[in-house]
Structure 1
Amino acid sequence: MKKELTLRSVLLGALCTSFGMSFIWPLTSVYLHDELHLSLTLVGVVLFFNSLASVIGNVVGGLFFDRFNPYRLLLLGGWLMFFTLVILTINHGVYAFAICLFFLGLGAGWNGTVVSALGASLKQYDGRYVFNMIYFVQNLGIVIGSSVVGFLYDWQFSLPFFVSTLVSVGFLAVVYLGYRVLKNQVTNKEKNPANNQKAQLVKGNARLIYCLLFSLFLMWVMYQQWGSNVSVYMTSMQIPFRYYSVLWTVNAGLIVCIQFFIVRFGHLIKNHFLPIYGGISFFAISFVVLFFAHSYPLFVLAMVILTLGEAWALPQVPVVVNQLTPEGSKGKYLGLANSFGSAGRAVAPLFGGLMIELASYQTLFMIAAVVNLALVFFLWGAKAILNASIKYYE
């Protein structure tokens, strides 16, 4: 009997990717600003190139998934992450840190897209279930990583890099053991040379997908202020960095709990855009609370509201993209979904740093609230206008 890729292997790959990076991204802004003494604008530039690399990894990984063997793609991405983290553990000065962040972004984007596309290829499961489970385990990895990274950083700031290196070894082990069944898999291009003809989207689908991706880009520009600038804002109020790290543990822990119920009862929601509308609305509310936050409990409240929005909106985007795209182009469009998110994360630190230096943190938070609220009406209007010309795929 021919062996097939299992959902367990897909989830382990997603878990290792998020777990490893959860030791890097929470401390990046604080490390660059407080330890290496870069301005917020320069921190934004470094993070911009990190996320730009993720965009490249997402797009190229998605395109290559439809054309080349995914087992070899994951091996390439896994070894890239491993060697980069070894270098970062040994040398984490300004230039080495910036260069390694670029290659980490490239590898994380590449691996994340290939794993997501493999999840979409599991036809024995409902797509919504698969993507919600992937999101669930990604945040489980963040729960574990972010709960200890602050304490590791306070103890010895090189320890998070070393632990992340060990996790990259775990990812390679998962690929060699769990994804080996794909070693001789025939690609979409080899299955059907005319696949490019079949993969063309109807105009309504294409327009709605790009409206959704544009919205995703802006959502991430605003959301990522939590990852790039709120940490510095909190430490400027004499709130220890480990308390900021705990916020992300709260975030990921809540997502794990919420996703548990969404995985079990999400099928009851028939309108796939409804969670996206609700989630973006929660994003807007969270930034209003952040505007007034001057004590740690209010930061916790803002994070809880943000998390409710994240748990509803972000896992639903690949679900909708998957339903709007035919076989032979799913890798491409799931890669684009990841790349638009990465592009938002790329622009976010630079945008936030400039806004803070030109105006204030409060101005930044209010802009984020207004933009998220506007996106709800934009997406609702686009869906209403294009609804008659949309074709859904299984």
Structure 2
Amino acid sequence: MPRALWLLIIGMAVNVTGNSFLWPLNTIYIHDLLGKSLSVAGIVLMLNSGASVIGNLIGGHFFDKLGGYKSILFGIGITLLALIGLTIWHGWPEYIVFLTIVGFGTGIIFPSMYAMAGSVWKEGGRKAFNAIYVSQNLGVAVGSALGGLVADYSFQLIFLANTILYFIFLLIAVFGYKNISAAPVKKESSIEGDLTATNNHKKIHALLILCVGYLLCWVAYVQWSTTVASYTQEIHISLTQYSLLWTINGALIVAGQPLLTGLLKHFAKSLKAQMIIGIIIFIISFLVAAKASEFSGFLVGMIILTIGEMFIWPAVPTVAFDLAPKGREGFYQGIVNSTATGGRMIGPLLGGLLVDLYGMSMLFTVLIGLFVLAILTTVFYDRTIKSSKASIIKGAKSM
């Protein structure tokens, strides 16, 4: 891997480690320390996620107009100022304001990180995005574990620790990202030029169709941290056991990359096949969880779920980068990141309503239906592009 990609991987790990000090504990802090209801906590987290969606779209646009270096520094600057404010003033209602700004600032950063990763190692294809994905999960695992230890000592230090890590991320970006630039683009042939001119307006449609399925997958995936989490408590699975599921999730993602590489070579040579296989694995995971009544059942379900996400999550930004016309890479990554954030916003609300009104069995039935729809969107998202390409090549040969 290029040195520039290693710098992006390190920066992403530090960035997500800082974020992970706080996000798993947000609800506990708002409910237990600030004395607000769980409904209020949910609204605050929705504001954070909504601001992140806006940040994703703006960050992608900034990458295309200003470049990755300036875009990332802008996002870090906003986030760091908000975290300093949160370290000093973390009462009510200041907490809402600063947490929303943090969501906006971090949202700006992610599309640029992904777009830069694809630019500095184009020949690596999916490997560049997979490396960023692994670094994110490493950050989640480390940050969540350290955050719990720090919170046990003093919850106030959580905000300071998050701020310090973001300052380290700022230093990495200032001194490491300034000279990172995209690899040179080869000159297009006349046929490729015609194809680009014809297909650019279709590429965004293809991405949006793909992102519909991506959204549905995220809506279902977040049930493991919301409705499924509550269900495990109802059937007397301890919090320690439930937390262990996510520890295993992170460990498998980091340690399972060699196995994944071998599987992809033999069973998923195209990105489309990789995504479809991943969604099918997701379905199996939820079928297992639907029948589980003990910890061992949920453990098996989580292992299967982790394998599925290793197929899907890195593949979608890779497809977006491949689809993006020159100069629009950041915008396309912004759409992908905002779609994932939107799924994390919608999922808890939809899952909660389904469980409250119809029970867990109906929830699992609906989620499997969403996965089936996601398979359909994945199968057909690029159909118009392929038909257009075939028409142009056929016309060129007939001349």
TM-score by length of 2: 0.83
Unaligned runs of 5+ in 1: 189-197
Letter in 2 for 1:298: G
User: Cα offset for 1:380?
Assistant: 2.0
Structure 2 equivalent of residue 289 of structure 1:
288
When residues 243 and 152 of structure 1 are mapped into structure 2, their CA distance, relative to the original with a 3 A threshold, is farther
Matches within 5 A, 1:27-38: 27-33=25-31, 36=34, 38=36
Alpha-carbon separation, structure 1, partners of 2:91 and 2:361 = 32
Q: Higher helix fraction: Structure 1 or Structure 2?
A: 2
Task: Measure the CA separation in 1 of the matches of 2:148 and 2:66.
Answer: 39
| Rg (Cα) greater in structure | 2
Aligned to 1:132: 130
Q: How does 1:239-258 map to 2 (within 5 A)?
A: 239-258=237-256
What RMSD, in angstroms, separates the aligned Cα atoms of the two structures?
3.1
Structure 2 partner of 1:193: none
AA matched with 2:312? A
- Any idea what the Cα deviations from partners look like across 1:172-227, whole Å, max 9, x if unmatched? 11112201325xx79x9xxxxxxxxx788445533321111111111111212233
The 8 Å contact of residues 210 and 377 in structure 2, kept in 1 or not, is answered as: no
Q: State the SS of the aligned residue for 2:155.
A: coil
Q: What's the % identity of the aligned pairs? A: 34
Query: Which amino acid counterpart does residue 353 of structure 2 have in structure 1?
Result: L
* 1:1-394 equivalent positions in 2, closer than 5 A: 6-33=4-31, 36=34, 38-123=36-121, 125-181=123-179, 201-235=199-233, 239-263=237-261, 266=264, 269-383=268-382, 387-389=386-388
Distance 1:388 1:51, change over 3 A: same
SS of the counterpart of 1:180? Answer: coil
Deviation at 1:352, TM superposition (A): 2.7
Shift in Å, 1:9: 1.4
Q: Specify the code of the residue in structure 1 equivalent to 2:329.
A: K
How far does residue 111 in structure 1 lie from its aligned partner after superposition?
0.8
Letter in 1 for 2:275: I
Deviates more, 1:239-248 or 1:321-330: 239-248
The answer (yes or no) to whether the contact 1:146–1:246 under 8 Å persists in 2 is: no
Q: In terms of mean alpha carbon deviation, does 21-30 or 147-156 score higher?
A: 147-156
- 302-311 or 146-155, larger mean C-alpha shift: 146-155
Instruction: Report deviation, 1:79.
Output: 2.2
Distance 2:200 2:303 in 1: 39
Q: 1:118 to 1:267 in 2, by over 3 A?
A: farther
Query: Could you say if the C-alpha distance between residues 82 and 256 of structure 1 is closer, same or farther in structure 2, counting changes exceeding 3 Å?
Result: same
C-alpha displacement of 1:344: 1.3
CA distance in 1, matches of 2:34, 2:285: 31
Contact preservation (8 Å) 1:142, 1:249? no
TM-superposed deviation, 1:255: 0.9
Q: 1:28 deviation in Å? A: 2.9
Aligned pairs, number: 378
Structure 1 position 114, deviation (Å): 1.0
Corresponding residue number in structure 2 for 1:191:
none
Distance across 1 between alignment mates of 2:381 and 2:89: 48
In 2, the alpha carbon distance for the partners of 1:124 and 1:385 equals: 25
Q: Is the 8 A contact 1:129 1:263 kept in 2?
A: no
Tell me how far apart the structure 2 counterparts of residues 152 and 234 of structure 1 sit (CA, whole Å): 26
Greater RCO (CA < 8 Å, at least 6 residues apart): 1
Contact kept in structure 2, 1:44 and 1:349, CA below 8 Å: no
Q: Which residue of 2 aligns with 1:192?
A: none
**368-377 vs 84-93, which deviates more?**
84-93
SS in 1 for 2:179: helix
